[in-house]
Structure 1
Amino acid sequence: MRDTELELSVVVPMYDEEEVLPIFFERMRPVLDGLDVRYEVLAVDDGSRDATASLLLAATAHWPELRLVRLLRNSGHQAALSAGFRRARGAYLVTIDADLQDPPEVIAELLAAAREYDVDVVYGVRSDRSSDTWAKRTTARMYYRLMGRLVGKDIPFDAGDFRLVSRRVVDAVNQLPEDGRVFRLVIPWLGFPSTQVRYVRAGRAAGTTKYGPGKMLRLAFDSVTAFSAAPLRLATWLGLLGGLLSGMFVIGALFIKLSGRSIPGWTSTVLAVSVIGAIQLLCLGLLGEYVARLFQSSQKRPQFLVGYDSLDDKGHQARTEESVNS
């Protein structure tokens, strides 16, 4: 049940972040304490293999607003965000990564913008990504341009998962029946009033990134297949193109044969088979992505399972103390 007096929930997905946690505590707590609002920090441990969970649990003893939510297994960044959305209690919710590339100090600006402009969503937009590698900047630019064409022009360019949303948005997201949601596309798609706060993206405070090329590619596939049927239409057009090329090869072969200029060889045959085979495999791959999503949806397995929530322990402790005092 939501605490109606709680103003802000900060959801932080974490996976093997033991190296950055001391710096995270040092920077995050003064920022939130200085906001002069009741808040909670939901550190969602996504099945970490290192000491992340134990360090967070130890920190809850001297930081009462810190709350550890631990998933039973590694379920992915977006699943950890979903767990945070499900369990957050605040009137506003901020999502931010633990690596401190998105500065916690900007949270105050997000909250101020939401109040000043009376909007439900405030996107943190990266105005400077010079701390990222050239490859990451390039692929990110390609991703946002592709999403803008497929999903719509409402997708904020260079806005990741650092944002503030109101309780109305949280409730709307939680009511969506789909699994495997991509938050940077779902939230703009909902259409709530929004604004932006621009900031400079910093380098990672400590440790190494857990979001490698494979996960980035998976995010791109999930983004496309979850929000657009364009790849299916692409498969159709590629099939038509393959048919057209095949027809041209047949006409050319008949013309050469009838004119008596037939030259024995295999180049044209190999070329034709290669082109058509490549198109067919691509189309099958695109269809397979959609069939896989349908298969996963039909299984109705939960996207994540929560194994532990430190708030439950606090509630149990409070009820025990009340019982003893009475």
Structure 2
Amino acid sequence: MSSIVLSVVVPMYNEEAVIPALVARLRPVLDGMGVPYEVVAVDDGSADRTAALLLDHCGIWPELRLVKLRRNSGHQAALTAGLHRSRGDWVVSIDADLQDPPETIPEMLTLARDRGLDVVYGVRADRSTDTPFKRYTAGAYYRLMRRLIGGDVPSQAGDFRLLSREAVDVLRALPERTPVYRLLVPSLGFASGSVSYVREQRAAGDTKYPLRKMVELAWDSAADFSAAPLRIATWLGALAFLACLALMVFGIVVWANGTVIPGWTSLFLAVLLLAAVQLICLGLLGEYVARIYRTVQSRPPFHVASDSIEAPQQRPAAAAR
């Protein structure tokens, strides 16, 4: 067993504005738990003073670690780096924006210990602080994932969760190149529970999950855990075939009646429809082939530049204000 009981992994990207508030809320909670802990702050190639501020806090908060990635690799990759570097018997992942309250962490650890659970999900009981668009798209995402993957996906559970060391070791051994942990963790079948909380306003700074990244997450979720997009291509082909049959019947009827259609628009429509369906099918196949190609290459999804517990670091250059 590790001498560290709890690791808290916090992926960060351009979060200099929220770091003071995060430290002010997270440290008292962890100090009050009475267990040896560490905080693994993963700087995901930030362009601002995130790394410099974290390094300053490392000097006055011994339990804080700074893991710095060489470039921006994405939220899930930064989370992976933190999980791989964590040393605790239990590992909590939480975002830096304080929308997921750190005060819930002791309740999660107590629940896991009392009931012998390997996973405890933080479930958002109230998302009224989110915009209506965000609430609608989040709800649609979870409904779609349960439809594609099954009912094991907990609703309204993001990346705020507690994992046992056994669960973390299993995740580390998986050959996933683009892990989506909110789907990957439930698929493992570990004994799990949940703790509900009210989602808060972002403490400072701007969201790091705009619409583009939300769409990318939805696509990664569907493509990594389901072959449904390929089946869509099959259904599109079947519908195109039926449409072509209808156009053939129409053409025969027109020919039998001796009616001449200038330019044979029906032929044009048939060719256009077939071409569009073929391109869609090729695009879907190409997405899956690209994922196979990245897996065969075996390139790591992130590169760690430094870890504050391994060697003395030079202070990161402060970004221009």
Aligned length in residues = 313
- Percent identical across equivalent pairs? 58
Q: Per-residue deviation at 1:270?
A: 4.6
Partners of 2:43 and 2:187 lie apart in 1 by 27
SS in 2 for 1:154: coil
TM-score scaled to structure 1, two decimals? Answer: 0.93
**Is residue 251–residue 266 contact of structure 2 (8 Å, CA) maintained in 1?**
no
Map of 2:282 onto structure 1: 284
The corresponding residue for 2:191 is 193
Runs of 4+ in 1 over 4 A off after TM superposition: none
Question: Structure 2 matches for 1:216-295, cutoff 5 A?
Answer: 216-264=214-262, 267-295=265-293
258-267 or 131-140, which deviates more: 258-267
Quick one: structure 1 residues 241 and 202, their matched pair in 2 at CA, closer, same or farther if it must change by over 3 Å? same
Residue aligning to 1:135: 133
Mapped contact 2:92–2:161 kept (Cα < 8 A): yes
User: 1:109 aligns to what?
Assistant: 107
Q: Which residue of 2 aligns with 1:318?
A: none
Q: Secondary structure at the match of 1:217?
A: helix
Partner of residue 8 from structure 1, selected from 6, 9, 12: 6
Note the alpha carbon deviations across 1:134-178, whole angstroms, 9 max, x for none. Answer: 111111111111110111110001100000010010000000012
Matching residue's letter, 1:129: R
How far off is 1:238 after superposition? Answer: 1.1
| Alpha-carbon distance in structure 2 between the residues aligned to 1:109 and 1:281 | 51
Offset of residue 85 of structure 1:
1.1
CA distances 1:47-78 after superposition (whole Å, capped 9, x unpaired):
00000001001100110000000001110000
Structure 1 stretches lacking a partner, 5+ long: 315-326
Q: d(CA) in 2 for partners of 1:162 and 1:148?
A: 19
Instruction: Give the distance between the partners of 1:278 and 1:133, measured in 2 at CA.
Output: 36
Structure 2 alignment gaps of length 5 or more: 313-321
How far has the Cα of 1:266 moved from its partner? 5.4
Alignment partners' CA distance in 2, 1:265 and 1:112: 75
Structure 1: distance between partners of 2:150 and 2:121: 16
Shift of 1:313: 2.7
User: What is the alpha-carbon distance in structure 1 between the residues aligned to residue 6 and residue 205 of structure 2?
Assistant: 28
- Structure 2 residue corresponding to 1:77, chosen from 72, 75, 78: 75
- What is aligned with 1:323? none
Task: Calculate the aligned-residue CA RMSD, in Å.
Answer: 1.5
Cα distance in 2, alignment partners of residues 179 and 263 from structure 1: 54
Q: Secondary structure at the match of 2:196?
A: strand
Match of 1:168 in 2: 166
Counterpart of 1:45 in structure 2 is: 43
Q: 1:296 aligns with which of 294, 298, 302?
A: 294
Q: Distance in 2 between matches of 1:247 and 1:152?
A: 36
Q: Contact conserved, 2:121 with 2:192, CA < 8 A, in 1?
A: yes
| Range that drifts further, 263-272 or 106-115 | 263-272
SS of the equivalent of 1:304 reads coil
Secondary structure, in 3 states, of the residue corresponding to 1:312? Answer: coil
Matched residues in 2 for 1:276 and 1:249: separation?
A: 12
Deviation at 1:205, TM superposition (A): 0.4
**Whole-Å separation in 2 of the counterparts to 1:55 and 1:266:** 69
TM-score (norm 2): 0.94
1:148 matched to 2:146? The reply is yes
